[in-house]
Structure 1
Amino acid sequence: MTGRTALVTGSAKGLGRRTALELASSGCDVAINYVTSRGEAEMLVQDIISLGRKACAIQADIALADDAERLISEVENRLGGVDILVNNAGPFIRERHLFADYKREDILYLMNGNLVGTMLLDHRVLPGMRSRQWGRIIHFGFGHASEARSWPHRAVYAAAKVGLVSFTKTLAVEEAANGVTVNMICPGDIRGDNKEKSIVDVAGWIDEESPRGRPGTGEDVARMITFLCLPESDFITGNTIDVSGGLDPIRTHLKR
């Protein structure tokens, strides 16, 4: 993928960071996006430059429409048109709340950050992808999001991501003839530092909650994203792909 430009939102840390490094290792120039983690973003830029690729770090909160527009414009000015858009960023409130207990501003922020902001970014990059007749768009969901189940205490986040499933499938059909693929990655319960680890880093580790028996890593997710972005993956579009080791996080929670 040498010569392609990738934008990975929310990429200063975690799964986004690991994905950015994987794409850079595959030849992409990469734009790093962050909200508050400037130091980590700038360190990642240096890591990517050391791989022989171009990189830049841009502050923007995709939950804000003006920030989403500015983010794409800055990437285009600094690295060129966006060929690969990985929509990793999305706010998540870890504390469990019944829907009735959410604050109004939290509902709007979660919906804007996980659904509307992603749609605005996609809308902004599509003209360039169409003109080049090539593009890769990746959305992020959660395990089994395509089944649209209930998820108590996660009502707003789940609603946004399930809405994104439908949008993924629709956009994939609409843009297939333009050489643009659209897919959703649904990570399992990949925790803490494991989001940036390699598969080899957890070799021999036991995770009793995982059907696979080991914890998931950022590499598990990043490798799938990179595969979907390859030129030869142009026949794979409109899919939701679980990268979970067989774990069903919602049912696991409900059984407790």
Structure 2
Amino acid sequence: MRHVFVTAGSKGLGRKVTEAFLAAGDCVTVTYRNDRQSYLNLCEAHSDTCDRLFAVQGDLTKSEDIQRMMQQATSTFGSVEVLVNNAGPYIFERKKLYDYTPGEWEAMVSGNLSAMFYLLQEVLPEMRRQKYGRIVSYGFQEAANAPGWLYRSAFAAAKSGLASLTKTVALEEAEHGITMNMVCPGEITSEFKESTVAEVKQIEAPEVPVGRPGSGGDIARAVAFLCDSSSDFITGSVLEVTGGADVLHKRRN
């Protein structure tokens, strides 16, 4: 039984990740910023495993909040052995870099890049002592190649930086039995973020090469695979879970 820490793990894609780890018998701490009800809903849906589920509230852009949340989590379930950074802000409005405010830029960089730095500072010392750790970050298609993305400059810059950070930490921590990889979800619409693979297999999506829409279950499977104890030879990888669709090209237009 491991202690898994999932940011924003009570709803959306994060909920399916949390459910996958609970099903595997792990203890899971989820974070939320304002929506405690989503955690209560999750706990109600999994009342038989709620004793292995814990929630902490805080702002992931603030290092002091992350430190406090980690202390609360470790006091409950012990050292964190698996970290999944599912959280990350996104501005849906289409706007060029010229039109971003300093506050919007800072929010994108802090939430998508700096937060990972703060989280790593909290979990790496104990993971090193344990000689074991699994860490997963989230990116977007081609993030490792630092592509241009029209109207998404701040998000793309932060996630491309996170891809580099992921690869660097993988190299630095390999000798300590710690792996770090990035999962890049394809276009998964809100209605399917909390769906299982079985639930979407009956739905046609001709624009996706595999013929069906993506689901939160697809992302959870990828994360669970990378975090498996036997996946120790996979580190520094960027795994695109897109159903074969060229998501970024579509979004560039």
Please confirm whether the aligned pair reaches a TM-score higher than 0.5, indicating the same fold. Answer: yes
Tell me if structure 1 keeps the 8 A contact 2:43–2:50. Answer: no
Find the aligned partners of 2:90 and 2:168 in 1 and give their Cα distance: 25
Report the equivalent of 2:65: 67
**2:124 alignment partner AA:** L
The gaps in structure 2 that reach 5 residues or longer are none
> How far apart are the structure 2 equivalents of 1:42 and 1:66?
25
Structure 1 partner of 2:74:
76
Q: Matched residues in 1 for 2:78 and 2:46: separation?
A: 17
Residue 204 of structure 1 pairs with residue 202 of structure 2: yes
Contact 1:24–1:53 (Cα < 8 Å) also in 2 = no
Secondary structure, counterpart of 1:51 in structure 2:
helix
Q: 1:204 to 1:43 in 2, by over 3 A?
A: closer
**2:225: which partner in 1?**
227
User: Residues 209-238 of structure 1: CA distance to partner in whole angstroms, max 9, x if unpaired?
Assistant: 212110000111101111111111111100
TM-score scaled by structure 1? 0.95
What secondary structure, in the 3-state scheme, does the structure 2 residue paired with 1:205 have?
coil
- Name stretches of at least 5 consecutive residues in structure 1 with no aligned partner: none
Q: Distance in 1 between matches of 2:177 and 2:48?
A: 31
Q: CA deviation at 1:161?
A: 0.3
Query: Which residue is equivalent to 1:26?
Result: 24
What is the aligned residue count? 253
Distance in 1 between residues matched to 2:201 and 2:222, nearest whole Å: 19
Contact 2:181/2:237 (8 A) holds in 1: yes
Deviation at 1:120, TM superposition (A): 0.9
Query: Among residues 1, 4, 8, which one is paired with 1:10 in the alignment?
Result: 8
Q: Separation in 2 of the partners of 1:183 and 1:244?
A: 16
Alpha carbons 1:14, 1:196 under 8 Å: kept: yes
What are the equivalent positions in structure 2 for 1:1-256 lying under 5 Å apart?
A: 3-51=1-49, 54-254=52-252, 256=253
Deviation of 1:53 after TM superposition, in Å, equals: 5.1
Q: Which amino acid aligns with 1:84?
A: V
Answer yes or no: is the 8 Å Cα contact 1:49–1:55 preserved in 2.
no
The letter of the residue matching 2:93 is: E
TM-score (norm 2): 0.96
In 2, Cα distance between equivalents of 1:244 and 1:53: 34
Distance of 1:49 and 1:76 partners within structure 2:
22
Q: Percent of aligned positions with the same letter in both sequences?
A: 39
Root-mean-square deviation (CA, aligned residues, Å) is 1.3
1:152-173 deviations in Å (ceiling 9; x for gaps): 1000000000000110011001
Distance 2:202 2:112 in 1: 35
- Whole-angstrom distance in 1 between the partners of 2:44 and 2:76: 16
Query: Structure 1 residue 203: deviation in Å?
Result: 2.0
Question: CA deviation digits over 1:86-134, x for unaligned, max 9?
Answer: 0000011111111111111111111000000111101110011111111
The 1-side partners of 2:118 and 2:43 are apart by 25
